Structure 1
Amino acid sequence: MRSPDGAFTFKPRIRVTADLSNTFGSDYDSRNLTTTELRGLRLGAQGKIAGGFSYWIEGDIADNAVSVANAFMAYSTKWGGRDLEISMGQRLNDRGVEGGTPEDMVPFLERSLMVSTIGPERGAYGVGVSSKLTGSVWHASLSVTGDAISGGATNDSVTVMARTHWSPFKTDAGHLHLGGWGFVEDLTPNASVASRSLVVSSRGNDNLRLQGGVYADPKGSKGLGLELGGVQGSGWLMAEGGRRVLETAARDYDQDAYSVSAGFFLTGEKPPLSAKTGTWARPKVLNPLGADGYGAVEIVGRYDQADYSDIATGGEGDSWLLGVNWYPTNNTRVSAHWSAWSVDNRTGTFLGDDSGNTATVRVQTAF
């Protein structure tokens, strides 16, 4: 909806994601599960207000819990001929290609182990101030945030995060992508940092997780990530990796992870990796499903790995993934992904080295 002068707009945002997942081949029978899950039901709105202001708010119903995702107000202007946006509130981290992209636009059903590992303790969202300066083939961002929206019973941690990317050699056929990001966080006094429980292959199987280890007397952490990839014709390739150093009273611990991913549109679409923002968007389907079209078909693959073994209770894990994404229209998607995974946990219920396979089918609509 738009006011007659265009100064005020209101756009509803809706996302419905449903998964059917089957895990097999594990040495633990309780890991070999077949599950159905409403992966996410997200409702919200975004729009503009006169004077260069905009807003975005949305809530998510997933895993039998309700949470707030993006909830911020922003001011946009020009600075040196470039687009400058300053926002206040809670919004998704600008943390790499996969980590900075909304879940419904990432080519995979779950973000990589690299995204889960190389990030602040508070997770993907934080409340604070963010800024982003954008050119035609580059952007730079800086944010200072506390924890995500919470009850306010304890002090927040503080995280300073920055990212930049550059897309040189841009032509109609594609572009190269170069990027890097980093963060420093100051953790509030705490007895310990609980073991991270990282999703491996499918969020629907809670018994299939990689445990990151427990850290006593944490003080803070810092992380660094690098991005290298690009688009050529209907294909794309991306490598992301980094290291997080968790600082404790005893000593510092390294956490390493990386991912290599690729994809190709069999139906001729151009991969929607933005040269301007350095993140994924929804593909523009050339022939939407209907009388004269059948949608877009994309083949994707990824290898990702995470290593927490610098601490005695930290695990290691990796996975190989192959999948097909069918986009009947710009706003709908049906995916079938298979992954072969390996997990070696040193804490938790499922100890030791284990491997198996997970197949997942997803149906999604989002606008």
Structure 2
Amino acid sequence: MARSGRTSAGIAILGTGSCLPSHVVGNDEVGAAAGVTDEWIRRKTGIRNRRRAKPDEATSDLAIAAGRAAMEAAGIVAADLSLIVVATSTPDQPQPPTASVVADGLGAGHGAAAFDVNAVCSGFVFALNAAQHVLAGSDSPYALVIGADVYSRILDHADRRTAILFGDGAGAVVLGPARPGRGVLAGRLAGFGAERDLIEVPAGGSRLPASAETLAEGLHYFTMNGRGVRDFVNATVAPAITAFVEEAGFTTRDVDHFVPHQANGRMLEDLSATIGIVDGHTRFSYEDFGNTGAASVPVTLDRAARSGELDDGDLVLLAAFGGGMAMGLSLLRWQRPHPSLSTMYA
């Protein structure tokens, strides 16, 4: 288990942004293909709608739009960036990294480091921790961290276990210098490889390359053992969150905003109750956007920021879990943007 512990480097989130495709897909539409009803989907997941990328939209397109919004909120331009990290498990293509496409699309020019992180739905928090450490050890002030996924391209739309859950989207944050008493306080990353088969796309890699046979067998589709994932969250993620917060010097009742991966509404309700988050302090976006993979934490964070829910000095807990299995946690003191940018979050 990797720990970042407390940081004295003073790195904070300076701005947030998101991009959700314009095409709204309701439960009736996904339910018809999966053989379930709107009532069944809402009862099992709490999801009502999700967004779907257009045929000509790729992960990088959503990531670029989210990144631009985050930079605008932070008051910086692409030339200010020294690092761009894109968390995704649905890259534009196997090579080059989607982050390179994003860097070029944003006009970051030559010199900004750009790489991808694939920790599936935990990816954004993994990328956030990585970028924080890079900035803390350098003289470069700004990094752009993006979570983006287009899961509609890898779903079997007849599989009710997965097709009803996922939507497409991207969320982003700009990291930079923190004011005293603000910024990232602690982080923790963990992996549980023995349980990697709970979530997977079996074919398309070096072990089982894509072929006519793998396509015919549907091995290029995303698969998930939902019951196994729920058991993993209950047995592993919940106690890890509680221990992480306590080791940072707080209790979960001190948390002003809990921003978890939006896996399933019912699961999140149970998780919040189990770890003792005060009622009303968990931030949600699943009802409107579904599970957007690595985008779900930054999309939810951006929604909370732009709605005015996050006040300067609030204690914010980010928690993500996903294929691998993997878990990423971050605890931070929220830093409001410069007053001249405050209308961005009104």
Q: Same fold (TM over 0.5)?
A: no
Structure (1 or 2) with the greater helix fraction? 2
Bigger radius of gyration among the two: 1
TM-score (norm 2): 0.29
Structure (1 or 2) with the greater strand fraction? 1
